[in-house]
Structure 1
């Protein structure tokens, strides 16, 4: 660096001497001799001093892309920030709900109905599900399901989808019911949906308050009298019969616009006619409703109405009975069946003659089950 400065200085001195001899202003008066030499020497010293000062203060020029000179400046220090790599770990056990294969939310089912619910689930964890995994009941209405059911007989790898089915039974009472479920791994750890694995998947159903009309289904019942089985629909005879009457005329003289069952015991003393209906499940809040009495002009009618039931695997049990005579009145029935809620039973409608049967033309007006 020092050598370069001395070389530059020598070149500048030479150029100065050369230029000075050519371009120095000429005085109007010719100077000669010693004075002329002193003048040249002073001018040379001034020029050299200026050149050295400029050489010390200026930086070497650099070339721009346009070919022009630019001052070379020291580059600024640049801070380089290395990117930080973030690693997100996938939990071992996670599940994602894909869809309801059947029985979507609020599907209506009958009281006590058995059904199979199927979901489609996705393994979003990092572990493979195997036969040691289970579907477990979490909260809500259990619908008769076991506390735990094997999830799969094979294996479900991460990101694979599997269909999961459970056999369920609807409650016998009317209403909206939901059962919530999660999964359980081989170590007994329970997990579910969501980023934290805390949410359940579910089945949600509506159980209808199903009624039952005994008139509409009267020929599905088994009808018998004291003398044996009778046909349905029947015909009027002394052997007893059951007939549907669309517009019955009651002992009050009024004509009804609802159908009735005319149940007539056979001739004789203390005879009976009875119909045993098919089994059905009684839902919560159900009532047996009807109007009973004697038909118009059956002036000697004197009978005993009886409502009974036969529980599944049990014997016949009487619920209640009513006595009716031809007195220009009738009895309105609104019997609470809450004691039978959830039970599967066969209802029995029967009419017995009180003593000798004579004009025992008994009717059940629109007998039915409803809330």
Structure 2
């Protein structure tokens, strides 16, 4: 109680309107100061202004109207002006939540004297939010790594992106703007990295759309940075690279269960999103097969590969046309023992284009 009394009585925390307005009076004469205060109180529409202030503070910051009614109108107006000019509304909301969480024992660093700015408070609240919401969001994220210092995850829904991307400038967590999140999570590997001790965040994105190649890292303020500037230890950078560059990697969206996907699409229906528009464009059957065959043959092994396509023959094979071409239009199967007798065994390949590649990505020959 003595600490509260000291703060109340401190001149720095007290404001005397009479002393302040007397500075406008000649020689500080009381009659002029009193006159100015009276004129101020008779300002047109002051009652309506006070009513609007009370409504705002009650609705936005949950301050009891009964407490506001105890404050004289002029003092309330000055109080509101100070709050409006010196604080950000969202910062004050975070401060209120910080107080609540700290009383509930949810803030890890509970020594309030160690907080020097609102950013530290917001980060502490964000970490507490994650603890509270981890259970409800567990189906909406793919956890890659979690210990006392780092949490590495892939957000699978817009809601989880907003929660885990809180207190950042990332476009993928912007309120009421799910379009960016959908674009990135349909087309690549989006990863959020959260440092629990230092309270900072880093994001990485690897594009699986070969038309738009990208492997980038972003700091909390949405500045593109080098991975070495991210503050991530080497083992976590390696983990991100391994997950992102995995030949079988899937976009975040494809990791979401059908049930959760249906729920999200319903919750986002008001935005009228065209989810199909975010998909990576599919290559044609011909383009896809050419790509697979090119990968299997490898550069420099054979040349002028001619491909036979026939949807009625799913096991149709492809041959190197510099070995088997009879004329410009008709590749044919070589005669028996052709490879061995002609000495082309190491230069030609016979590939089943519908076979499954082995572990190193090559196709059966």
| Higher RCO, Cα 8 Å, sep 6+ | 1
Higher-helix-fraction structure: 2
**Same fold, TM-score > 0.5, yes or no:** no
Specify the structure having the higher radius of gyration (Cα).
1
Higher-strand-fraction structure: 1
